[in-house]
Amino acid sequence: MKTGLSDLLCVNRKFLIYNLIVRNLKIRYRKSYIGIVWTMLIPAANAIVYNIVFRYVMKVDIPNYLVLILSGLIPWAFFSTALTNGMESLVGNQSVLNKVPIPSYSFTLAEVLTAFTNLILSIPVITVVVLFSQVDFSLLQLFIPLTLVILLIQAYGIGLILAYAFVYFRDLRHLLGIVIQIWFYLTPILYRTTMIPEEYRFVLFLNPVASLFQYIHMALGIEEFSIQPIFASLVWTIIIMILSLLVLNKLNDDVVESL
Amino acid sequence: MMLPVISLNSVSKSFTLWSDRTYSIKELLVNLSRGKIKSAHKKKIEVLQNISFDIYPGEFVGIMGHNGAGKSTTLKIISGIYKPTTGSVIIGGSIAPLLELGAGFTDELSGYDNIFLNAAILGFGRRKTSQNLDSIIEFSELGDRIHTPVRNYSSGMTIRLAFSIAVHLDAPILLFDEVLAVGDVSFQQKCINKIMELHKQGKTIILITHSPEIVQQFCDRCIVISNKMKIFDGNPLEGVEIYKSSTFKH
């Protein structure tokens, strides 16, 4: 039986997905009532360090620089966590997948949604930061949640491909760490796209998530609005979903036996 | 004429084994650079050969066979974890696949939380789980300990909880894989009583076991699998004899 786009949402397995997310959150924040603060603390600390290094040492001149990097670092923290944990989702649950007939991708979805829950919980914090900064209100800001949902869809698609690949290539874990680090610097988080020399700017379109972070910059008034990034992110989302469905349908029967 | 709830039609299953399968990207790159693209030593091993049987609603079937004969693979094919290589499987009704009790149990969570998690993994929804919550906790004999982490349970307590969840979820077909080999004698007896109660309610039960007593006393029918094939299907008393002789021959 073919797995389709609607299957990936696990609609008839809502109770399972919910319980897996609750499990993930409870394990991660066990005995730590300020758990969510810890998740926030890493991007916040990074933002302060980058702010000092780039603003005062390297003399980058962007208004509201701290707000800019913080509003990029928090979605990035979600994205990298979703990919890392998503990749481990099948191998990490092999004892269940070997004993219970269960769609393998439900574990990947649960991991990605767990990371997304953390992102949602940090939205109020960042909203407060934006309100107290000198960023002007713009209608574009109302669509930032939509941007984050697109990022979620992309993270799920890429996470699925990684999860399946990890079953066959166990050294992917080391490689992904390096890739995520390089990917971070190739994404407009610490800089705005206009700082890239014009002839190299096309590279951004090769990066599925670049235009989503570019949109956040546009919404915060750090960059001029343009329509291309929106098209680019939609095209990339479609490509990623098609690729992940192809991988899923090719390997679905084999993957449990290979675990 | 009653329709079978489970119907296996000349099912065979083989696994592919690669003697030089690459398990890392590093090896893959090395092989690619040497011009070796396809794995050379591919070997198929057959684990089930041409197995057919029909199981009707309300039957209590014991599956026997020596280790490695293919019993667990048969159960995995029935539950849908594995797809048959050839042949077909038809299932009419939802299955509680209890190939391992307590699948997905998480040590850090309380027994109470694990009830919901385990039920969800077994494919049940919120309503069915909540409806049966009280009877699950009562049967498990855990009392107040249900709210403490499973990490602090003895193995007997864990198994009691897992079995309790499994049998209270009201699935019409239940598959058990050697679950009665665990727990102390009194709890084993309680498990058997519970399985018999479910059987009386008209549920279909398939049980893998090595115990001739259980098959002779409780099962309606016995299937013996030996060396990848079904060698007997019928009366439990005869089945046990055939199982014993097939074990000794092996």
What's residue B38's pLDDT? 61
What separation, in Å, do the N-terminal and C-terminal C-alpha atoms of chain B show? 39
Residue B40 clears pLDDT 70, i.e. is over it: no
User: Is B121–A96 a contact, with Cβ atoms under 8 angstroms apart?
Assistant: yes
CA A101 to chain centre: 28
What tokens appear for A122 in the block?
């940090």
What's residue A41's pLDDT? 80
Query: Do the beta carbons of residue B241 and residue B215 sit within 8 Å?
Result: no
CB nearest to B103's CB, from A19, A100, A172: A100
User: Mean of the pLDDT values across residues A164-169?
Assistant: 91
Chain A positions touching B129 (Cβ under 8 A) are 15
Instruction: Answer whether B123 touches A (CB < 8 Å).
Output: yes
Q: How far apart are CA B126 and CA A16, in angstroms?
A: 9
Query: Do the beta carbons of residue B201 and residue B227 sit within 8 Å?
Result: no
Nearest CA in chain A to B13: A257
CA dihedral defined by A44, A46, A49, A55, rounded to 10 degrees?
A: -90
Residue B189 clears pLDDT 90, i.e. is over it: no
B38 versus A254: the higher-pLDDT residue is A254
Alpha carbons within 13 A on the beta-carbon side of A115: 28
Confidence of residue B1 (pLDDT cuts 50, 70, 90): low
User: Is A170–B82 a contact, with Cβ atoms under 8 angstroms apart?
Assistant: no
What's residue A247's pLDDT? 93
User: Is B23–A30 a contact, with Cβ atoms under 8 angstroms apart?
Assistant: no
Print the SS3 string covering chain B: CCCCCEEEEEEEEEEEEECCCCCCHHHHHHHHHCCCCCCCCEEEEEEEEEEEEEECCCCEEEEECCCCCCHHHHHHHHHCCCCCCEEEEEECCCEEEECCCCCCCCCCCEHHHHHHHHHHHCCCCHHHHHHHHHHHHHHHCCHHHHHCEHHHCCHHHHHHHHHHHHHCCCCCEEEEECHHHCCCHHHHHHHHHHHHHHHHCCCEEEEECCCHHHHHHHCCEEEEEECCEEEEEECHHHHHHHHHHHHHHC
Confidence of residue A132 (pLDDT cuts 50, 70, 90): confident
What's residue A34's pLDDT? 66
Best A23, A173, A174 residue to mutate vs chain B (most B CBs within 10 Å): A23
What's residue B228's pLDDT? 87
A1 versus B241: the higher-pLDDT residue is B241
User: Mean of the pLDDT values across residues B108-137?
Assistant: 92
Our CA-based measurement puts residue B17 at a distance from the nearest CA of chain A, in whole angstroms, of: 10
Q: How far apart are CA B82 and CA B47, in angstroms?
A: 12
Whose tokens are 């219970």? That residue is A100
User: Mean of the pLDDT values across residues B116-144?
Assistant: 91
Residue A85 clears pLDDT 60, i.e. is over it: yes
CB nearest to A170's CB, from B15, B24, B125: B24
Our CA-based measurement puts residue A101 at a distance from the nearest CA of chain B, in whole angstroms, of: 5
Q: How far apart are CA B41 and CA A108, in angstroms?
A: 32
Q: How far apart are CA B209 and CA B64, in angstroms?
A: 6
The type of residue at B72 is S
Domain hosting A170: range is 5-258
What's residue A7's pLDDT? 85
User: Mean of the pLDDT values across residues A69-96?
Assistant: 93
Residue A199 clears pLDDT 80, i.e. is over it: yes
User: Mean of the pLDDT values across residues B63-91?
Assistant: 89
Question: B4-25, pLDDT tens digit by residue?
Answer: 899 999 999 988 876 666 677 7
DSSP 8-state symbol, A53: I
Q: pTM to 2 decimals?
A: 0.90
In chain A, the number of structural domains is 1
DSSP reduced 3-state for A244: helix
On average, the pLDDT of chain B sits at: 86
What's residue A154's pLDDT? 96
User: Is A96–B104 a contact, with Cβ atoms under 8 angstroms apart?
Assistant: yes
Q: How far apart are CA A235 and CA A150, in angstroms?
A: 11
User: Is B25–A172 a contact, with Cβ atoms under 8 angstroms apart?
Assistant: yes
CA A106 to chain centre: 17
B25 versus A30: the higher-pLDDT residue is B25
User: Is A19–B117 a contact, with Cβ atoms under 8 angstroms apart?
Assistant: yes
Long-range contacts of A247-255 (CB under 8 A, 24+ apart): A247/A160, A247/A161, A247/A164, A247/A165, A248/A3, A248/A8, A248/A105, A248/A160, A248/A164, A249/A2, A249/A3, A251/A164, A251/A167, A252/A3, A252/A104, A253/B83, A255/A90, A255/A104, A255/A164, A255/A167
What tokens appear for A86 in the block?
């998503």
Which are the contacts of B160, defined by CB distance < 8 A and separation ≥ 6?
A: B139, B140, B141, B142, B183, B187
Best A21, A96, A100, A175 residue to mutate vs chain B (most B CBs within 10 Å): A100
Phi, psi of A7 (to 5 degrees): -65, -35
B65 versus B249: the higher-pLDDT residue is B65
What's residue A150's pLDDT? 95
What's residue A1's pLDDT? 63
Our CA-based measurement puts residue B175 at a distance from the nearest CA of chain A, in whole angstroms, of: 11
Instruction: Answer whether A32 touches B (CB < 8 Å).
Output: no
Our CA-based measurement puts residue B235 at a distance from the nearest CA of chain A, in whole angstroms, of: 29
Instruction: Answer whether B92 touches A (CB < 8 Å).
Output: no
Q: How far apart are CA A71 and CA A126, in angstroms?
A: 7
Q: How far apart are CA B47 and CA B15, in angstroms?
A: 7
Angle in degrees, 0-180, between the axes of helices A105-132 and A65-88, rounded to the nearest 10:
170
What's residue B182's pLDDT? 66
User: Mean of the pLDDT values across residues B41-45?
Assistant: 76
Strand order of the β-sheet with B221-226 is: B95-98, B173-177, B204-208, B60-64, B221-226, B229-234
A64: left (phi over 0), alpha (psi -120 to 50) or beta: left
Cβ atoms within 10 Å of B147's Cβ, excluding its own? 12
Across A80-84, B34-38, B192-196, least confident range: B34-38
Phi, psi of A178 (to 5 degrees): -70, -45
Chain A positions touching B23 (Cβ under 8 A) are 168-170
B208 versus B250: the higher-pLDDT residue is B208
Question: A40-52, pLDDT tens digit by residue?
Answer: 788 888 888 988 8
Confidence of residue B250 (pLDDT cuts 50, 70, 90): very low
Across A158-167, A173-182, B98-107, B202-211, least confident range: B98-107
What tokens appear for A85 in the block?
């944990």
Query: Do the beta carbons of residue B205 and residue B219 sit within 8 Å?
Result: no
Whose tokens are 């991708």? That residue is A105
The type of residue at A51 is N
DSSP β-bridge partners for residue B176 = B98, B207
Locate the domains of chain B by residue range.
1-93+172-250, 102-171
A247 versus A223: the higher-pLDDT residue is A247
User: Mean of the pLDDT values across residues A74-88?
Assistant: 95
DSSP reduced 3-state for A9: coil
Confidence of residue A19 (pLDDT cuts 50, 70, 90): very high
Residue B176 clears pLDDT 60, i.e. is over it: yes
The class level of CATH for B1-93+172-250 reads alpha beta
User: Mean of the pLDDT values across residues A58-81?
Assistant: 88
Query: Do the beta carbons of residue A90 and residue A247 sit within 8 Å?
Result: no
What's residue B20's pLDDT? 60
What's residue A223's pLDDT? 83
The type of residue at A233 is S
Query: Do the beta carbons of residue B62 and residue B195 sit within 8 Å?
Result: no
Chain B positions touching A27 (Cβ under 8 A) are 106, 108-109
Instruction: Answer whether B122 touches A (CB < 8 Å).
Output: yes
Instruction: Answer whether B176 touches A (CB < 8 Å).
Output: no
DSSP β-bridge partners for residue B233 = B223
pLDDT above 70 as % of chain B: 92
Confidence of residue A243 (pLDDT cuts 50, 70, 90): very high
Residue A20 clears pLDDT 50, i.e. is over it: yes
What's residue B36's pLDDT? 65
Nearest CA in chain B to A1: B83
